[in-house]
Structure 1
């Protein structure tokens, strides 16, 4: 377990964004990036393009607020468009020191974050805003220990809207999905796909190595 690192000059925590099936969580890890006088330069990385709403409507406004409230003492380097790592490698990028703040997807980690995966159960929340608030309220008591064992600390939760199924044939009643191949992540979401009689299709990330045999 990584602990907070205290250098002679300063200490800070790395930020990590973690997407659930229904939302994005953001934790911190110990480490240093760059310090110039009283200014700290941190690195933000993302697999999304710079035109994506998560970047333009979430991160950039948050960055402006942080810059204003710290009097410009915290500044950011931006690396988007999968420049430094892909969507599935957020946790590795944090642990290896590639980044200070990124998106990490708990839904792609079925072997970890067991309580967090419970948020993927259907019909729990009326809208994404409620889901985000509930997620952050639950974190200190129920999730904090598991995240901190991985050396990360929650910064915020950004919840997505419900997922849609896009199919070539109409799905009007639950029985219509039986036998269809449905792309899903692992863990709880894969269990739900199987329970409704569909077949889990491998994700795009699983397909990358097929043409080359890797």
Structure 2
């Protein structure tokens, strides 16, 4: 917790360290999202980022937020950014799975070890592996973000892989269902809004969710065991309107590009802070927090390894360098996740990753 609070202070220092003399403005930046203002990734992430950018730009960038899905649904982010309905919004490959290939690596089990390190790894690899398929959607990448890790809340304790055999677990479909099957569980498709009732009535025996969602949906009233399996982190990148970026001056483009690299990390910290608070709430409500033994976690990872090989085979058959991507992602994730959030934020501030947007 102290480390993440220190990062918030570092954000302020970094953003005020060198104020550019921006001649443009004011420029209105329209941020759109399906979630409310109270949603942690906005409240503690994007909102703080907006406030800092407005100050650093001396008021030349002015944000206007459209939340609660007032401009478009969660699934229509690509269309909204492409048609200039907004300037930055969530645009997830998972919502348009047939349109993406290599980008789906983010959602494979155990792909990323941490928020800050995983995000930096994905943005580092973006120009080489993901940019072409993302920009085919008619948008530019604003920043790459991932959800928190997905863990289990259950009615019975889970200490080992065998405990999942035959267990009905709430799934959001796709790769998630395949992953659960490989773990020996039975995936059951349940909408988020129906997860509590399904859990309470025995439609499912467990729910796979980020810790914060377990609290949001009050699942601790039904399940009293939390097992940290850190199964996946869903890729939730944010798309930027090409029309918005095109109208900026060269100086303003450089400025906003650098700030968006920081936005990725500030969103990552927001997710981490939310999970820390959520775990505290779970404990206060009598939920037993279970950590898998290292050798048991290794068994979980081994059980789902076939998904990685399938990812490689399917994409190599399309002529895509999937095996090389897997190698590079694992190396970069290990490298950046070994760093602290402060170190990563300092790195992207002093040396913004090149090539994510051409200008």
- TM-score norm. by structure 1 comes to 0.69
Pair 1:95–1:185, CA change in 2 (3 A): farther
- Tell me, what secondary structure is at the counterpart of 2:29? strand
Return the match for 1:120 from 97, 107, 114: 107
Deviation per CA, 1:59-117: give whole Å up to 9, x if none: 11221232234332221211212333333332233244432211122233332332121
Instruction: Kindly indicate whether the alpha-carbon contact (under 8 Å) linking 1:94 and 1:101 is maintained by their aligned counterparts in 2.
Output: yes
Matched, 1:201 2:176: no
1:43: which partner in 2? Answer: 30
Instruction: Kindly indicate whether the alpha-carbon contact (under 8 Å) linking 1:47 and 1:80 is maintained by their aligned counterparts in 2.
Output: yes
Task: Give 1 or 2 for the bigger CA radius of gyration.
Answer: 2
Deviation per CA, 1:32-81: give whole Å up to 9, x if none: xxxxx932223211122211221111111221232234332221211212
2:43: which partner in 1? Answer: 56
Task: Determine which structure has the larger helix proportion and give its number.
Answer: 2
1:140: which partner in 2? Answer: 127
1:146 deviation in Å?
0.3
Instruction: Kindly indicate whether the alpha-carbon contact (under 8 Å) linking 2:88 and 2:142 is maintained by their aligned counterparts in 1.
Output: no
1:130: which partner in 2? Answer: 117
Return the match for 1:87 from 68, 74, 89: 74
Matched, 1:160 2:147: yes
Return the match for 2:62 from 64, 72, 75: 75
Pair 1:96–1:197, CA change in 2 (3 A): farther
Task: Determine which structure has the larger strand proportion and give its number.
Answer: 1
Return the match for 2:96 from 109, 124, 128: 109
Using the TM superposition, name which of 144-153 and 72-81 deviates more. 72-81
- Tell me, what secondary structure is at the counterpart of 2:89? strand
The two structures, once aligned, show a CA RMSD in angstroms of 2.5
Return the match for 1:171 from 133, 151, 158: 158
Q: Extract unaligned runs of 5+ from structure 1.
A: 1-36, 208-214
1:205 deviation in Å?
7.0
- Tell me, what secondary structure is at the counterpart of 1:137? helix
Matched, 1:188 2:196: no
- Tell me, what secondary structure is at the counterpart of 1:155? strand
1:159 deviation in Å?
3.0
Moved over 4 A (4+): none
Using the TM superposition, name which of 72-81 and 175-184 deviates more. 175-184
- Tell me, what secondary structure is at the counterpart of 1:151? coil
1:206 deviation in Å?
10
- Tell me, what secondary structure is at the counterpart of 1:62? helix
Deviation per CA, 1:104-162: give whole Å up to 9, x if none: 22233332332121122333433211101101101010000001111122222233331
1:163 deviation in Å?
0.6
Using the TM superposition, name which of 131-140 and 110-119 deviates more. 110-119
Count of residue pairs the alignment pairs up: 171
Instruction: Kindly indicate whether the alpha-carbon contact (under 8 Å) linking 1:128 and 1:159 is maintained by their aligned counterparts in 2.
Output: yes
Instruction: Kindly indicate whether the alpha-carbon contact (under 8 Å) linking 2:172 and 2:191 is maintained by their aligned counterparts in 1.
Output: no
Using the TM superposition, name which of 54-63 and 196-205 deviates more. 196-205
1:34: which partner in 2? Answer: none
Pair 1:111–1:143, CA change in 2 (3 A): same
